[in-house]
Structure 1
Amino acid sequence: MYNLFEPGDLLNSPYEALLFDTEKHSFPVRSHWHHYMEIILMVEGTAIVENDEKKYLLHPGDMAALPPKSIHAIWNEVGKDEHLLYYVIKFDLNRFRENIGYVPQLKSAVLQAMENPEVSFFFSAKELIGFPVVEFINGCVKEAQSMHYGYYMIMYSYLNCLLVNILRIWRRRGFTPSYEVSAPSGSSIETITEYIDAHSDQPLKVEQLAIRCNMSYSFFAKQFRQIYGRSCKEYIEYIRVIKTEDMLLYTDYDMTYISQAAGFSDCSHMIKTFRKYKNITPKQFRMQNTKGSRGLSTPLL
């Protein structure tokens, strides 16, 4: 079974940008996560973007921001197999740690937005009118393609402009992040999710994960919820549900095999947990979905 984690070279490739063409790239984009923040701007066609437990329907001109470590997937609208074009920008949010004037640290602002359930990372084409985000995204793609001297510096400038415009939209919506500095990344608890992903088919105990991070159980549990917005037990369950969903969509494995491969104790445990997160049983989910065309078991935002 594949891991959801998608490795990336944050040190040597902190920024990536391209125009994704479903006729040239593998599609649909299966569930995965990485340490980059990702921006999706729809150009042609209509796509569904799933980000953790939220789903967005993107029409041309719509944009979605996918925070670091969020589990996301992209596929066609149900019943359609149309050609899609969309911009993809990926960047290391840790590079944006400067405080300038009264504008909060950009990394800190995004992290605060992630912790606030009222803040949406979906931006409609109508809402983006007056904000030159297309110009900045297109500029990033052109620089990434040309790779001319200093292109990383130009991309960094464009991304700063893009993030500040996102903050302006959030402020218009009523969310203003506080002026605070985020802690440096790299601690063991910030990489424990890679271990969970790679070992999700095995028995995982929160107590053992706390020991791996050299923390007490209570401190680890508190820190994990603060960073990831859910308990460690819930995170393990969610990873297993996403892998179950992937096998239901892209394999012909039976329910017993899937439950074991995903790390559930038995088939009934898988069914109960899957229903908890998807409001539908695994069997019903498979029946309602076909390869390359996925139904919506949760409302679109």
Structure 2
Amino acid sequence: MDPLMLKEDRMHGDPGYPASLYQMSYKAHQPMLELHWHEEFEFLMITQGTASMRVGVEDYEVKAGEAIFVNSGELHSGSILGEEDCSFLALVFHSNLVHSAVPDTIQQQYLLAIMEQRLRLPVHLRADSSEHQLLLSRIAELLRLHERCPPMYELSAKGLICLLLADLLRLGTEGQLGAPPSPPVKSYKVQRLKAVIEYIHTHYAQPIRLSDLAAVVSMNEAYFCRFFKEMTRTTPVDYINQYRLQHAAAMIRATDKKMTEIAMDVGFNNVSYFIEVFKRYFGCPPTAFKKLQHETAESGR
């Protein structure tokens, strides 16, 4: 999953089997999962440490052995909690994996209702909940299938996904089936936030003023700052810096450019400020980060 893209523009898997497994590990105090969304569903299980996962406008403390379900189009992000490193496994899959060739009851009554958020499903699956234990074991099995890829694993995986969606529906939609559809909570705010962040991702290498961002959603600057903080748990300036630093880190890993050039390329016009902010987010200056990345790559050979 590319953390540098808000709206992912990539295929997970292939048209014949539109699903991909991602294994990610992060050092404590380093940025983890930037705010983004994709059309696919996602099951994400923490395998080490504890993370604060934000899905939509809600925050969840997710411990090792616990999982979250991310609906199609749902904004989500994550950060590490505590002093321990954090790892997770995530299966990202398109609804086409469980669609029928022609519209049927499964597609019309359930899948579309989930994707359009007319039916609300649980997001956080907790280890201390007896209701969630079966789902967590099925998610773990689903992830293992995609790690090992035994013969005919696709058939087993598709069955498990259908079981998981049915279980989530039973837990989350009691009394909702047959009821008049209700609009997703704060959906208009989410759409406005997506527009702002898409602007940031398009213009991050250029100067970005608060007035520019506020104009995207027709707000005054003071109201916009409150809106952004409410929706993302961070300020616009901090979010812009984080996004620029993710690009800077990727360039440090992949190129031999000088730090001054990298700073300018990602939108910092003051190298001292770039180094200061980089150290704040990554726990070390960019030169030390580059050395660590090089040593890690060498040890992995």
> Scaled by the length of structure 2, what TM-score is found?
0.59
The structure 2 residue matched to 1:291, chosen from 278, 281, 288, is 281
Tell me the number of residue pairs that the alignment of Structure 1 and Structure 2 aligns: 232
Q: How far apart, CA to CA, are the structure 1 residues paired with 2:162 and 2:139?
A: 11
Measured after TM superposition, the shift of residue 265 of structure 1 is 6.1
**Higher RCO structure (Cα 8 Å, ≥6 apart):** 1
Provide, for residues 50-90 of structure 1, a one-character-per-residue CA deviation record: whole Å limited to 9, x for no partner.
Answer: 1222221112333221111111111112xx34211323121
Amino acid at match of 1:87: L
- Partner residue in 2 for 1:230: 187
Compared with structure 1, are the counterparts of its residues 255 and 101 closer, same or farther at alpha carbon in structure 2 (3 Å cutoff)?
Answer: closer
Find out whether 1:75 has 2:26 as its counterpart: no
> What's 1:278 paired with?
229
State the distance in 2 between where 1:128 and 1:51 align: 23
Alignment-mate amino acid for residue 160 of structure 2: Y
Going by fraction, where is helix more abundant, 1 or 2? 2
2:155 matched residue in structure 1: 153
User: Quick one: which of 4, 15, 23 aligns to 2:6?
Assistant: 4
CA distance in 2, matches of 1:274, 1:71: 19
Q: Which residue in the other structure is 1:30 paired with? A: 34
Structure 2 residue aligned with 1:56: 60
CA 1:29–1:292 in 2, change beyond 3 Å: closer, same or farther?
A: farther
Indicate the RMSD between aligned Cα atoms, in angstroms: 4.5
Preserved contact between residue 271 and residue 281 of structure 1 (Cα < 8 Å): no
Specify the SS of the correspondent of 1:291.
Answer: helix
Instruction: Give 2:145's aligned residue.
Output: 143
Structure with the greater alpha carbon radius of gyration: 2
The answer to whether the 8 Å contact 2:21/2:91 transfers is: yes
Partner of 2:260: none
Counterpart amino acid of 1:160? C
Match of 1:187 in 2: none
User: Alpha-carbon deviation of 1:125?
Assistant: 1.9
Q: What secondary structure sits across from 1:162 in the alignment?
A: helix
- 2:129 equivalent in structure 1: 127
Contact 2:113 2:119 in 1 (8 A): no
The answer for the alignment partner of 2:254 in structure 1 is none
- 2:118 corresponds to: 115
Q: Is the 8 A contact 1:48 1:76 kept in 2?
A: yes
The letter of the residue matching 2:281 is K
Letter paired with 2:187: R
How far apart are 1:136 and its partner, in Å? Answer: 2.1
TM-aligned CA distance change 1:265 to 1:33, over 3 Å: closer
Deviation of 1:237 after TM superposition, in Å, equals 2.7
Structure 1, unpaired ranges of 5+: 181-224, 294-301
Identity, in percent, stands at: 14
Letter in 2 for 1:278: K
TM-aligned CA distance change 1:292 to 1:75, over 3 Å: farther
Which deviates more, 151-160 or 57-66?
Answer: 57-66
Instruction: Provide closer, same or farther for how the CA distance between residues 102 and 275 of structure 1 changes in structure 2, counting only shifts above 3 A.
Output: closer
Looking at structure 2, the residues matched to 43 and 141 of structure 1 have their Cα atoms a distance apart, in angstroms, of 11
Residues 275, 282 of structure 1: 8 Å contact kept: no
> 1:14/1:105 Cα in 2 relative to 1: closer, same or farther (>3 Å)?
farther
User: Which amino acid letter does the alignment assign opposite residue 115 of structure 1?
Assistant: R
